[in-house]
Amino acid sequence: MTDIDTKVRLAAFKWLEEQCQIYGDTLPRKVLEQGFIFQSERIHLIGPQGIFIPKGLTIPLSINTSPKSPYADQETPDGYLLYKYRGENPLHRENEGLRQAMIQRKPLIYLLGVTPGKYIAKWPVFINEADSIGLTFKVDIGKSDQNKMAESSFPYGVGTLSGEDARRQYLMVQTRFRLHQQRFRENVLVAYGRRCAMCQL
């Protein structure tokens, strides 16, 4: 039997796919704040804090880096995100929630703010390590989504890729989802008012 936590995550991933079909690569914050209805309850995907636990869950559903974040979150060349703890207390409820997400291999959503009010959504992402001294979580955002789903105990029902197919899938996902490239694209579009620099259309 699938638990509520799993059902909410699956519903959130499906909803995000639908929103990306409507809005493209960047999603308005208002849409993420509004969220979706699940079993007569509204599930929000983002809140005022970076680590977000929706009502009814005990483990975070999403983490986000706002365009003007006070935290020094950074992406590494090998496809990981170093995501800062909330505050300096490793036992804070939200930090403990992410530690539980790591232990239980719960998939999360990463929302990267590229401009005020616009976010790129990346899912599923997984917490790989928790550094309570450096106050940093190591988040896997760069591996093949299909491989990550297969590695997790989360019930996606996705087969394991192997050999050259896995390598191709990894390279394809690396090419498509490098977050800094999507951020650069959005910043260029905003700078030019979403018009062609040559013809102004």
pLDDT band at 188 (very low <50, low <70, confident <90, very high): low
Asked if pLDDT for residue 35 goes beyond 90, the answer is yes
Q: Find the distance separating the first CA and the last CA of the chain, reported in whole Å.
A: 53
For residue 187, is it within any domain?
no
What's the pLDDT at 100? 96
For residues 105 and 122, give the distance between their C-alpha atoms in angstroms, rounded to a whole number.
Answer: 16
How far from chain centre, in Å, is Cα 79?
13
Token code pair at residue 116: 């005020």
Does 66 map to a domain?
yes
Domain presence at residue 86: yes
Predicted structure pTM score: 0.73
Does 177 map to a domain? no
Q: What is the pLDDT of residue 75?
A: 84
Q: What does the DSSP 8-state code read for residue 2? A: -
pLDDT for 108 beyond 90: yes
Tokens 């997400």: give the residue. 101
Assess if residue 60 is contained within a domain. yes
Domain containing 99 equals: 4-143
Tokens of 74: 């950074």
Asked, for residue 192, whether it belongs to a domain, the answer is no
Cα–Cα distance between 110 and 95 in angstroms, integer?
15
CATH number, domain containing residue 48: 2.30.280
The length of the chain in residues reads 201
Domain assignment of residue 184, yes or no: no
* Per-residue pLDDT at 19: 97
| Within a domain: 198 | no
DSSP 71-116: S--EE-TTSEEEEEPSTT-TTSHHHHHHHHHHHTT--EEEEEEEET
Identify the weakest region by mean pLDDT among 15-29, 62-76, 182-196: 182-196
Domain count, the chain: 1
